[in-house]
Structure 1
Amino acid sequence: MDNPLLLIRNAQVYAPEALGKTDLLICGGRIVQIGRDLRPNLDGLEEVDASGMLAIPGLVDQHVHITGGGGEAGFSSRIPELTAFDLLSCGVTTVVGLLGTDSVTRSVKSLLAKAKALKEEGLTAYCLTGAYDLPSPTVTGSVKDDITYISEILGVKVAISDHRCAQPTKEELTRLAAHVRLAALTAGKPGVVHMHTGTGKNGLGMIFEILDETDLPVTPFRPTHVENVMEDAVKLAELGGMIDFTADDNAELTAGHLLRAEAEGAPWEQITMSSDAGGSIPIWDKNKKFIGMGVGKPDTLLKVVLALCEGHGVPLEKALCLITRTPADALNLPRKGRFEPGADGDVLLVDKELSVKRVYAAGRLLLKND
Structure 2
Amino acid sequence: MHNEGYMLKNGTVLTLESSLGSLKRADVVIRGNRIEQIAPDIQLHAGGYEIIDASGMIILPGLVDTHRHVWESLVRTAGTNWSLPVYLQNLYYGGLGSKLRPQDSYIANLLGSLEALHSGVTTLLDWSMPYSPEHTDALIRGLQESGIRAVFAVGVNGETEYWNRDSKLVISDDVYRVKKQYFASDDQLLTMGLAIRGPEFSHWDTTVKEIGIARELNAICSMHIGFGNWGAQDRSVTRLYEAGLLGSDLNMVHGNKMATDEYKMLADAGASLSVTPEVEMMMGHGYPATGFFLEQGGIPSLGVDVVTSTAGDLFAQMKFALQAERARVNEQILAEGQMPGELNVLAGQALEFATTAGARALRLDDRIGRLKPGHAADLIMLRTDELNLFPVIDPVGAVVQFANASNVDTVFVAGRPVKRHGKLVGVDMERIRRLAQESRDYLASQYTLSDADRVLYS
Q: Which amino acid aligns with 1:92?
A: V
TM-score by length of 1: 0.76
In structure 2, the partner of 1:123 is 148
Instruction: Give the alignment partner of residue 135 of structure 1, picking from 169, 183, 195.
Output: 169
In structure 1, the partner of 2:412 is 360
Q: Does the aligned pair in 1 maintain the 2:10–2:27 contact within 8 Å?
A: yes
1:46 matched to 2:50: yes
1:93 matched to 2:102: no
Taking a change above 3 Å as real, the CA distance of residues 52 and 306 of structure 1, as seen in their structure-2 partners, is: farther
CA deviations over 1:322-363 (Å, ceiling 9, x no partner): 122222223222211111111111111124332322212223
Aligned counterparts of 2:9 and 2:346: Cα–Cα separation in 1: 23
Q: Does the aligned pair in 2 maintain the 1:4–1:27 contact within 8 Å?
A: yes
1:192 matched to 2:220: yes
Give the 5 Å matches for 1:145-164: 146-147=178-179, 150-151=182-183, 152=190, 154-160=192-198
**SS of aligned partner of 2:70:** coil
Q: Which amino acid aligns with 1:194?
A: S
Higher helix share: 2
Taking a change above 3 Å as real, the CA distance of residues 26 and 68 of structure 1, as seen in their structure-2 partners, is: same
1:7 matched to 2:7: yes
Q: Does the aligned pair in 1 maintain the 2:248–2:272 contact within 8 Å?
A: yes
**SS of aligned partner of 1:159:** coil
Aligned counterparts of 1:201 and 1:154: Cα–Cα separation in 2: 27
In structure 1, the partner of 2:440 is none
Kindly state the Cα deviation for residue 30 of structure 1 after the two structures are TM-superposed: 0.9
Taking a change above 3 Å as real, the CA distance of residues 263 and 121 of structure 1, as seen in their structure-2 partners, is: closer
Taking a change above 3 Å as real, the CA distance of residues 359 and 86 of structure 1, as seen in their structure-2 partners, is: same
CA RMSD of aligned residues (A): 3.5
Kindly state the Cα deviation for residue 367 of structure 1 after the two structures are TM-superposed: 1.7
TM-score by length of 2: 0.63
**SS of aligned partner of 1:208:** helix
Taking a change above 3 Å as real, the CA distance of residues 308 and 71 of structure 1, as seen in their structure-2 partners, is: closer
In structure 2, the partner of 1:73 is 90
Kindly state the Cα deviation for residue 237 of structure 1 after the two structures are TM-superposed: 2.9
Give the 5 Å matches for 1:226-245: 226-229=255-258, 231=260, 234-240=263-269, 241-245=271-275
Give the 5 Å matches for 1:1-370: 5-17=5-17, 18-21=21-24, 22-68=26-72, 72-73=89-90, 77-78=96-97, 81-82=108-109, 83=111, 84-100=113-129, 103=130, 106-107=131-132, 109-131=134-156, 133=162, 135-138=169-172, 141-143=173-175, 146-147=178-179, 150-151=182-183, 152=190, 154-160=192-198, 165=201, 168-184=202-218, 191-197=219-225, 198-199=227-228, 200-201=230-231, 205-212=235-242, 214-229=243-258, 231=260, 234-240=263-269, 241-248=271-278, 257=288, 259-262=290-293, 264-268=295-299, 271-278=300-307, 294-299=308-313, 301-306=314-319, 312=343, 314-333=345-364, 334-350=366-382, 351=384, 352=398, 353-355=402-404, 356-369=408-421
Kindly state the Cα deviation for residue 51 of structure 1 after the two structures are TM-superposed: 1.9
Stretch moving more, 225-234 or 355-364: 225-234
Q: How many equivalent residue pairs?
A: 334
Higher strand share: 1
Q: Name which one, 1 or 2, has greater alpha-carbon Rg.
A: 2
Kindly state the Cα deviation for residue 37 of structure 1 after the two structures are TM-superposed: 0.6
**SS of aligned partner of 1:73:** helix
**SS of aligned partner of 1:339:** coil
Kindly state the Cα deviation for residue 71 of structure 1 after the two structures are TM-superposed: 6.6
Q: Does the aligned pair in 2 maintain the 1:67–1:110 contact within 8 Å?
A: no
Q: Does the aligned pair in 2 maintain the 1:58–1:346 contact within 8 Å?
A: yes
Kindly state the Cα deviation for residue 143 of structure 1 after the two structures are TM-superposed: 4.3
Taking a change above 3 Å as real, the CA distance of residues 298 and 262 of structure 1, as seen in their structure-2 partners, is: same
What 5-or-longer segments of structure 2 have no aligned partner? 74-86, 163-167, 184-189, 327-342, 385-397, 423-458
Kindly state the Cα deviation for residue 2 of structure 1 after the two structures are TM-superposed: 9.3
Aligned counterparts of 1:328 and 1:342: Cα–Cα separation in 2: 15
Taking a change above 3 Å as real, the CA distance of residues 305 and 66 of structure 1, as seen in their structure-2 partners, is: closer
Aligned counterparts of 1:62 and 1:126: Cα–Cα separation in 2: 9
Kindly state the Cα deviation for residue 109 of structure 1 after the two structures are TM-superposed: 4.4
Aligned counterparts of 1:259 and 1:221: Cα–Cα separation in 2: 17
CA deviations over 1:284-327 (Å, ceiling 9, x no partner): xxxxxxxxxx524321x212324667875854443222122222
Aligned counterparts of 1:4 and 1:68: Cα–Cα separation in 2: 38
**SS of aligned partner of 1:127:** strand
Kindly state the Cα deviation for residue 61 of structure 1 after the two structures are TM-superposed: 1.7
Q: Does the aligned pair in 2 maintain the 1:128–1:155 contact within 8 Å?
A: yes
